[in-house]
Amino acid sequence: MTQASAAKEATAKEILNSIEIDLKGKCRFNCSFCSLTKVKTSDKSKKNGLSLNELTGLIAQASELGAKRVILFNDSSRQHPDTEEIIKFITEKKMQVIPFSSDLSCNPSMNSGLVNDNHAAIKCLKHKDSCFITLEGSVFPCVGMPLSIGNIRNTSLNKILRDSEIIANLKNHESMIKGPCQKCDKFSNCYGCRARAFALTGDYLASDPQCPENHDKLDQITYLPMSVEKLLPQKQGMCVVTKLLKVGERYARVESVFSGKSPFIKENRSLEEFAYMEVMAQSAGVMDGFEKFDTGQADPEGYLIGGQKINIYAKTYAGDRLIIDIYKTTKFGNFGILTAQIHCKDVLIADGEIKVYQIDGTN
């Protein structure tokens, strides 16, 4: 083995320590964050679940990435039909099998990121070397955080974990977690419960509101939705977006409402066509600004270079509530390409691609 290939193999081995796999198709736990968000591990029928070949392929990928144990979420009264074969395969890969049944109390000693019967958070850094896969193949940072970063039916586990901005941000938690957690003397070894923070604030990088260390600092924690005033350099009048509603993997949902006094509104109260591209560009700025907001990092600066394939399908007017879904698709150094869709009352109003440039020192 060459030195380069040995280094590459060593790097690959650093990705995972454990992996958690759902074999049930439906979570019966009543963890605080899940009951708050009304989201369970999986709500699809088992007929859409991963096949035995897909499951063993997933486990083989995890083994190649360094995973030493596999936590299997199962149903003791009605186990997955391939449970024995799956356990046998895991054992052959010389990995530890940890079965976990939904009719048992959550076990803090597993360090699986769940909570116990008193809903006391297990503080961990598990997202640095673990992940959870649903019965349909969606990859979550952990079992309690319903925030998909990809699906193994479309992309290899290796690529999902390496390309995920969410995983990268969690691995770099000392720079990326927002708010009072940054000043906690336990911060290097703890970032609260990320699943609970996501459920309570809408932001997986927010400080944990229920951590005892933050009980007197709740006013310093940001929650979604939030106004974009502190996220963009544009001043009132030239700012064409109003609220950040949601964040995800290379994704954000933003709101825009134009007043009748906006310079982008025509005499007939309809929105100028060129304003839609600016709405897309500022939505991109909001997404980047929020990631760095309240982390101590420099405020982001960038420019809209241009747009292409900008399609406008209908008119909108002053007072209309526009919803922008924007996705990061490509990045080359400081240059980025993003795609966006703009809806009004569930009707597609506009879509297209924009190109942006981010100034050095703000990445």
Mean pLDDT of 152-161: 97
Q: What is the pTM of this model?
A: 0.85
How much is the pLDDT for 57? 98
Residue 279 has pLDDT above 60, yes or no: yes
Mean pLDDT of 278-291: 94
How much is the pLDDT for 361? 53
How much is the pLDDT for 97? 96
The tokens describing 360, both together, are 């050095």
| Residue-wise pLDDT tens digits, 216-236 | 999 999 999 999 998 988 766
Note whether 125 and 189 are within 8 A (CB): yes
Residue 315 has pLDDT above 60, yes or no: yes
- Split at pLDDT 50, 70, 90, the class of 102 is low
Q: Give the least confident one: 39-48, 72-81, 162-171, 249-258.
A: 39-48
Residue 239 has pLDDT above 60, yes or no: yes
Residue 51 has pLDDT above 70, yes or no: yes
Q: Give the least confident one: 28-32, 144-148, 254-258.
A: 28-32
Indicate the pairing of strand 251-257 with strand 321-332.
Answer: antiparallel
How much is the pLDDT for 47? 58
Mean pLDDT of 145-168: 95
Residue 45 has pLDDT above 70, yes or no: no
Q: Give the least confident one: 76-85, 153-162, 277-286.
A: 76-85
14 exposed, middle or buried (CB, 10 Å; 0-12, 13-18, 19+)? Answer: exposed
How much is the pLDDT for 26? 60
Residue 41 has pLDDT above 70, yes or no: no
How much is the pLDDT for 67? 96
The tokens describing 44, both together, are 């699809």
Average pLDDT value over all residues in the chain = 85
Q: Where are the beta strands (DSSP E) in 7-48?
A: 18-22
Q: Where are the beta strands (DSSP E) in 175-289?
A: 226-227, 243-248, 251-257
Distance CA 126, CA 190 (A): 10
Which residue, chain included where needed, has tokens 């944990």? Answer: 208
Mean pLDDT of 20-32: 70
- Split at pLDDT 50, 70, 90, the class of 32 is low
How much is the pLDDT for 15? 85
Mean pLDDT of 55-80: 92
How much is the pLDDT for 188? 85
- Which H or E run contains 355? strand 347-358
Residue 206 has pLDDT above 70, yes or no: yes
Residue 13 has pLDDT above 60, yes or no: no
Q: How many residues does the chain have?
A: 363
Asked whether the CA dihedral 202, 224, 231, 220 is positive or negative, the reply is negative
Residue 169 has pLDDT above 90, yes or no: yes
- Split at pLDDT 50, 70, 90, the class of 111 is very low
**pLDDT above 90 covers what percent of the chain?**
63
Note whether 272 and 264 are within 8 A (CB): yes
Between 168 and 126, whose confidence is greater? 168
Mean pLDDT of 20-48: 58
Mean pLDDT of 89-112: 70
How much is the pLDDT for 333? 81
